[in-house]
Amino acid sequence: MQLTPLDWIFVALYFLLNLGIGFYYKNRAGKSVDEFFLSGRNVPWWLAGTSMVATTFAADTPLAVTGLVFKGGIAGNWLWWNMVASGMMTVFLYARLWRRSGVMTDIEFSEIRYSGKPAAFLRGFRALYLGIPINCIVLGWVNLAMVKILSMVLGVDKITALGLVLCLIAITAFISTMSGLWGVLVTDAVQFFIKMTMVIVLAFSAVKAVGGMDQLILKLRAIDASRGIAEGGAGSVLNFVPDLDSVWMPMITFFVYVGMTWWSTWYPGAEPGGGGFVAQRMFSAKDERHSLLATLWFQVAHYSLRPWPWILTALAAMVLYPNLSDPETGYVRVMIDHLPPYLRGLMLAGFAAAYMSTIATQLNWGASYLVNDFYRRFLRPSAGEAELIRASQVATILLMAISAVVTFYMDSITGAWKMLIITGAGTGLVLLLRWYWWRINAWSEVSAMASAFVVSVTLQTAFHLDSDNPREFAYIMIITVGITTAVWLAVTLMTKPEPMEVLEAFYRKTHPSRQGWGPVAERVKEVVPDTDGWANIGCWLAGCTLIYGMLFGSGKLLLGATMAGLGYLAVALLSGWWIYRDLNRRGWASIAK
């Protein structure tokens, strides 16, 4: 793709803007570790929520969505659409609890909920395990996406593209280490605006290249006909729900996605009950209300506002490039071949924005684990603020270097997604219940993590089940979740509960629902019980309906099914009213506070 001097000017201006933001927040970030990692816990809901959206809008996401659409049509996106239930559960059942906890990271939570050596081990192990290998896998697939993009756009090989990506990640690490979370949050907001604008422009260009929306639909139906699929029949590219008899989505696999994955599996950005960078943003929010509203805005934008520009471009790529050996590259090919020349620099800046927003968060979040939950907790408990900030900067550079190595050996973005889903299978339920059942202890979490890893790896190595095979993926999930759940429940009941004084302190601090905490609640009667349990469940269901109503409604309107689209949007509107009414009852509906 030919880039003009004007294109490079746009790219340069983008980087200068990011550097300017970094320098602006340099002094504030250097005040304390709390400022560096949590922005002084004074972030408004809209900024915290937008940062979450920007983080999950990485350079890899549109490429992975394109691969899913090539393989399974629009319905291929159920690989991640199924996480709506988990996300909305975080909003209404966990966001306020996390904010009340007062911790710096979700891993630090281990030592306010549990006690003794098991709690310390859990905190240290999770800090290293999630902070380095798991975090670097995420960084690796984001880097891989940028390598693919630069290889195609600039016509260079993988090694050269990886070198350019290292330059990008170095710039990002420099800004992140200099400005802390404030710099990450503000650059995220700017980057989200840039990349959202450009993916809409690209979707418009892609549809225009096919001949318009009507022609796109006709040509996709022709693809269906070539596969022996009648218009609107099972397995159509345009269907929102998959054909449950298809090779790529057997019924058992769809059941696993919608009935199991969302609550049973730890996955970055969609942890059951919240965690990782999502928890970090909740901790940084001004108060409980801002924490809830931030996660609500995140879920709406993540699932309802962003997908369709990606999906439309992917559908156009199916028509324009039907025989791609690597379908994930279809998205970039549309950009190279059909984006107007005067917009290519802005589009490249948009990809850089998508890349840098995710990288900055992953580096800052991963460093928070290594410094707060390992270095300060176990190696240097007496370290001062200046030393901890220097350690944070070193940890950021370390993560950057390791992620580059991971990228070199990684080939598939969606394959990495599935690997993390399987590795964390079965751990989700204990993460949900630790807030709502007093009997869970540190050994519950330790046994869940260990058994999930051992069982999933054994099934893939000793029994040769292939996670890329949809049916075998489902078997791995079902077996791993079943065994892991049985193991951690047995361990919980065979080991002692946490000391009552620890449970009482936790209950006083977070005051979760009385249900599941009866023995503890009886001892701390001065804590006013949470009576919003059923209301929270109602809002959770309404939130899921809101998301799917907006997602399917806007999709139907774009694809010409006007009445169906309006019907879905009406359901979404009703669900939104239900949520607003409940928040208004609690005095939290106003966003002007």
Sign of CA dihedral 442, 445, 448, 449: negative
d(CA 539, CA 293): 13
Give CA separation, 50 vs 188, 225, 296, 299, 523, in Å: 7, 41, 10, 10, 41
Burial string for 351-384 (b: 16+ CB within 10 Å, else e) reads bbbbbbbbbbbbbbbbbbbbbbbbbbbeeeeebe
Helix, strand, coil percent content, the chain, rounded in steps of 5: 75, 0, 25
Residue whose token pair is 């960078």: 277
Per-domain residue ranges of the chain: 1-37+65-412
Which DSSP helix (H) or strand (E) runs through 216? helix 213-226
Under a CB-based contact definition with an 8 Å cutoff, are residues 185 and 48 in contact?
A: yes
Under a CB-based contact definition with an 8 Å cutoff, are residues 95 and 291 in contact?
A: yes
> Phi and psi at residue 495, in whole multiples of 5°?
-110, 165
d(CA 593, CA 587): 11
d(CA 440, CA 498): 8
Under a CB-based contact definition with an 8 Å cutoff, are residues 359 and 142 in contact?
A: yes
What is the pTM assigned to this prediction? 0.87
Among the listed residues 153, 188, 181, 173, the one whose alpha carbon sits nearest the alpha carbon of residue 46: 188
| CATH number for region 1-37+65-412 | 1.20.1730.10
Among the listed residues 174, 175, 184, the one whose alpha carbon sits nearest the alpha carbon of residue 357: 184
pLDDT tens, per residue, the chain with 593 residues: 666 787 778 788 888 888 888 888 877 766 677 777 788 888 999 999 999 998 888 777 888 899 889 988 898 898 889 899 999 999 999 998 999 898 888 899 999 999 999 999 999 998 998 888 888 888 887 888 788 888 888 888 878 888 888 888 888 878 877 788 888 888 888 888 888 998 999 999 999 999 999 999 999 999 888 877 766 666 788 888 887 767 667 888 888 888 888 898 877 767 888 888 888 889 889 988 899 999 999 999 999 989 999 999 999 999 999 888 888 889 989 988 898 877 878 888 887 877 887 888 888 888 889 999 999 999 999 888 889 888 888 888 888 888 878 777 666 555 565 666 677 788 899 999 999 999 999 999 999 989 998 998 899 888 988 877 888 888 999 999 999 999 999 999 999 999 999 999 999 998 888 888 989 998 988 887 666 778 889 999 999 999 999 999 999 999 989 999 999 999 999 999 999 998 888 776 554 44
Assigned token pair, 303 = 């699932």
Residue whose token pair is 């370290």: 383
State the chain's maximal CA–CA distance in angstroms. 71
Q: How many CA atoms lie within 13 A of 87 on its CB side?
A: 31
